[in-house]
Structure 1
Amino acid sequence: MVTVTIRAWSDYQTTGPATNVIDYEKPHIFKVQNFMGHWCDFCANFMWGLIAQGVKCQDCGFQAHKRCSEKVPNHCMPDMKYVKRIYGCDLTTVVKAQKSLIPIVVEKCVKEIELRGRVLCASTTFHFTAGTVSHADAEPDASDVAEGPGVLATTVYTDPLQHFQTVGQYELPCLVCVRLGEGDGENECEGMDQEGLYRLAGFHDDVEALRMAFDKDAENVDVSSSRFEDVNTVCSVLKLYFRLLPIPLITCEVYKRLMEIIKTEDLSQSEQVRLMKEPMASLPPAHFHTLKYMCAHLRSENLAIVFAPTLMRSDDANPMASLMAAKFEQKLMEVILVNHTKLLGK
């Protein structure tokens, strides 16, 4: 019998900016509108005229005179009936409309990717329960894996070996034991061990189908292996979500400040981390918590080259400038991944 302790989903800490999405500051997105007998939601006076009497927020439906709209505070509370899609929509708008700390598409994809790696590993030799991994002959059910709001911070492939207790005469994690022949030889682990994870693209038609499903009804999307067998499809959909954000996960303003720190040659990594804390803390709450969630999921430094252009970008449209910045972006992403607990909290 071998037991490996796993941190439960509920152990994910939400330190940092406000965790109540209602408190997130978000301006209204007003658009000129034609009304038929309507009153201003700000001043409560009638909106006179035949056409273009006022403006209406595209995210929450707030209606006001043009002059009144200039006085409205940034208290927009988006409603999903006005938010027509998830992909290509502002991150703060999505989390406020869904009333969740991070976008549902991110949480569902990350959980599914990690679940596949753990369950497929467990199917050969080990049985997963809410807090432990135990040797068992029976094939585990996916429901046995701990669930909850957060990420599985302890990952099989990236945690130090000392996190795993002795297996027989070997002090090795369960996956290594399976490779040594303790499995049945038929159900080898794939999941997080699959070659090209986050590097290989999923089948285009499946990626588009899953994207449209998230846009239509994010809460009820089925991303399980019974619906999408290739884990690369789920990975591609997750990366596509970040690529289509109108404001990148690491905002352009914060990106500039972080790049200045990374480009300073005479700074040690500890000094870089110290200087990076302030700009990282200035990220909008929705961006901060989503980045924290993703960093706890990724963990591997070699993924910096894959995710750097996905999670951050410059507002400079010059392609040569973007090309020159690529190596610094990769270095920045690596520093964030390695030191994410210092920068974003545990």
Structure 2
Amino acid sequence: MPEVSAEWAAAASNLLSNIRSSWTNLSTVSLPASEEDRKKIWDPSTMFSEELWLENEKNCAVVHKSKRGRKRQELLAVALGVKAGVKGALLWQPLKLFAYSQITSLVRRAALTQNDNHCNYEKAHNFKVYTFRGPHWCEYCANFMWGLIAQGVRCSDCGLNVHKQCSKYVPNDCQPDLKRIKRVYCCDLTTLVKAHNTQRPMVVDICIREIEARGLKSEGLYRVSGFTEHIEDVKMAFDRDGDKADISASLYPDINIIAGALKLYFRDLPIPVITYETYSKFIEAAKISNPDERLEAVHEVLMLLPAAHYETLRYLMIHLKKVTLNEKENFMNSENLGIVFGPTLMRPPEDSTLATLNDMRYQKQIVQILIENEDVLF
């Protein structure tokens, strides 16, 4: 087993002190008689010793085999690491079956805060009611989760387990686990970039890189549609292979397929790049008649976007500005791109066709302003 750092030992000691405090409530539990033996049991350096770990591996298998046939009281005793009715008999199943998993989770979260390469975008946890199998401790308050079903909540993005009441106080520090992210398209933008530890969604980076390499002078870029079936193929490639998806010219010679896949990614976002919370503010800014005041209002609203959304929008506008610089070949100016990307990047909070139609010219105007003034606004 790898050497235990000070952070691991501190997390282990904190959690195990809570487990030890629960023993006083069990009449069937007996600790070793001598004070020296008891201290040795709860000493993290002893608990994590390789010899003791290997010795108790065999006991874990025995517990698993007999688990189904035990009574509820016996299961609780086993989970806490003792044999019911046998004085001084200490098992190490909780370290393997419960405590170790809890310590791993705590250390995982501690390690994430020390990761200098991590993009520090704030993200709220996606908590859902969860029924835990066997005893579980809250990873926020370190207290036991009581009950047989729905004992607490679990974040479906990072796996954090807490009491339902504790979830209200957990900071917005969710670091999604890549193993829990099943797809790329239709995934929340901030969730995706934090899972991949990137500044922007890798779909945006890869598609824009490919378009700028061989498609900036393509006539009608972003306006001309590629074959829907091929665009779906690109989507499935990203969902299946992530940043290893192959969208090279050998597979997709038509650059409009790549451009269509990029637009589809933005349309499929559950929260648009220009979020629902800022939508109305952008529309109001577009209605300002004075150009200088309008530009200032747009800049103020941009500052309200979540960090990942802001960075993605900034990168896209820099790219679209490059597209307009090749207007003589591709016939795509900022107004044309505004018509294409307005409804793609902005959607009204309410699902109203009338509201969408009324706001279309303002959506176009906002994107046009962002493209033409990207060097000032970003």
- Structure 2 residue aligned with 1:274, among 274, 289, 296? 296
Q: Which residue of 1 aligns with 2:27?
A: none
Q: Contact conserved, 1:21 with 1:95, CA < 8 A, in 2? A: no
- Structure 1 residue aligned with 2:353, among 292, 304, 319? 319
The total of aligned residue pairs comes to: 250
Q: CA offset at residue 253 of structure 1? A: 2.4
Q: Which residue of 1 aligns with 2:305?
A: 283
Higher helix share: 2
The letter for the 1-side match of 2:311 is H
Q: 2:117 & 2:169 partners in 1: Cα distance? A: 25
Q: Which residue of 1 aligns with 2:13?
A: none
Q: Which residue of 2 aligns with 1:30?
A: 127
Say which SS state the counterpart of residue 296 (structure 1) adopts.
helix
Q: Which residue of 1 aligns with 2:250?
A: 226
Residues 143-167 of structure 1: per-residue CA shift (max 9 Å, x gap): xxxxxxxxxxxxxxxxxxxxxxxxx
Q: Structure 2: give runs of 5+ residues left out of the alignment.
A: 1-115, 325-333
Residues 212-235 of structure 1: per-residue CA shift (max 9 Å, x gap): 121122121111101212111111
Q: Contact conserved, 1:223 with 1:234, CA < 8 A, in 2? A: yes
Say which SS state the counterpart of residue 23 (structure 1) adopts.
coil
Alignment of 1:170-181 (within 5 A): none
- Structure 1 residue aligned with 2:202, among 104, 107, 112? 104
- Is 1:295 aligned to 2:329, yes or no? no
The letter for the 2-side match of 1:192 is L
Q: CA offset at residue 328 of structure 1? A: 1.4
Q: CA offset at residue 26 of structure 1? A: 0.9
- Is 1:203 aligned to 2:227, yes or no? yes
TM-score between both structures, scaled by the size of structure 1? 0.69
- Is 1:84 aligned to 2:106, yes or no? no
Q: Which residue of 2 aligns with 1:5?
A: none
- Structure 2 residue aligned with 1:63, among 130, 146, 161? 161
Q: Which residue of 2 aligns with 1:42?
A: 140
Q: Contact conserved, 2:283 with 2:363, CA < 8 A, in 1? A: yes
Residues 263-284 of structure 1: per-residue CA shift (max 9 Å, x gap): 123x1x2221122211111211
The letter for the 2-side match of 1:57 is C
Say which SS state the counterpart of residue 319 (structure 2) adopts.
helix
Say which SS state the counterpart of residue 55 (structure 1) adopts.
strand
Residues 59-104 of structure 1: per-residue CA shift (max 9 Å, x gap): 1010112122122111111111111111111111111111101110
Q: 1:310 & 1:320 partners in 2: Cα distance? A: 17
Alignment of 1:41-190 (within 5 A): 41-116=139-214
Alpha-carbon spacing, 1:294–1:22, altered in 2? closer, same or farther (3 Å): closer
Residues 220-270 of structure 1: per-residue CA shift (max 9 Å, x gap): 1111101212111111110011001111111122221121121123x1x22
- Structure 1 residue aligned with 2:284, among 256, 260, 270? 260
Say which SS state the counterpart of residue 165 (structure 2) adopts.
helix
Q: Which residue of 2 aligns with 1:244?
A: 268
The letter for the 2-side match of 1:99 is N
Say which SS state the counterpart of residue 128 (structure 2) adopts.
strand
The letter for the 1-side match of 2:151 is Q
- Structure 2 residue aligned with 1:192, among 190, 203, 216? 216
Say which SS state the counterpart of residue 178 (structure 2) adopts.
coil
Identity across matched positions, percent: 48
Q: Which residue of 2 aligns with 1:339?
A: 373
Q: Structure 1: give runs of 5+ residues left out of the alignment.
A: 1-18, 117-190
The letter for the 2-side match of 1:101 is Q
Q: Contact conserved, 1:20 with 1:101, CA < 8 A, in 2? A: no
Consecutive aligned runs of 4 or more in structure 1 exceeding 6 Å deviation = none
Q: 2:167 & 2:160 partners in 1: Cα distance? A: 9
Q: CA offset at residue 30 of structure 1? A: 0.6
Alpha-carbon spacing, 1:22–1:195, altered in 2? closer, same or farther (3 Å): closer
Q: Which residue of 1 aligns with 2:339?
A: 305
Stretch of structure 1 that moved more, 313-322 or 94-103: 313-322
Q: 2:277 & 2:218 partners in 1: Cα distance? A: 36
Say which SS state the counterpart of residue 111 (structure 1) adopts.
helix
Stretch of structure 1 that moved more, 60-69 or 104-113: 60-69
Q: 2:262 & 2:132 partners in 1: Cα distance? A: 39
Alpha-carbon spacing, 1:275–1:30, altered in 2? closer, same or farther (3 Å): same
Q: Contact conserved, 2:119 with 2:199, CA < 8 A, in 1? A: no
Say which SS state the counterpart of residue 129 (structure 2) adopts.
strand
Say which SS state the counterpart of residue 229 (structure 1) adopts.
coil
- Structure 2 residue aligned with 1:213, among 214, 223, 237? 237
Alpha-carbon spacing, 1:233–1:27, altered in 2? closer, same or farther (3 Å): same
- Is 1:330 aligned to 2:364, yes or no? yes
Q: Contact conserved, 2:286 with 2:366, CA < 8 A, in 1? A: yes
The letter for the 1-side match of 2:229 is D
Q: CA offset at residue 203 of structure 1? A: 1.6
Q: 1:216 & 1:65 partners in 2: Cα distance? A: 34
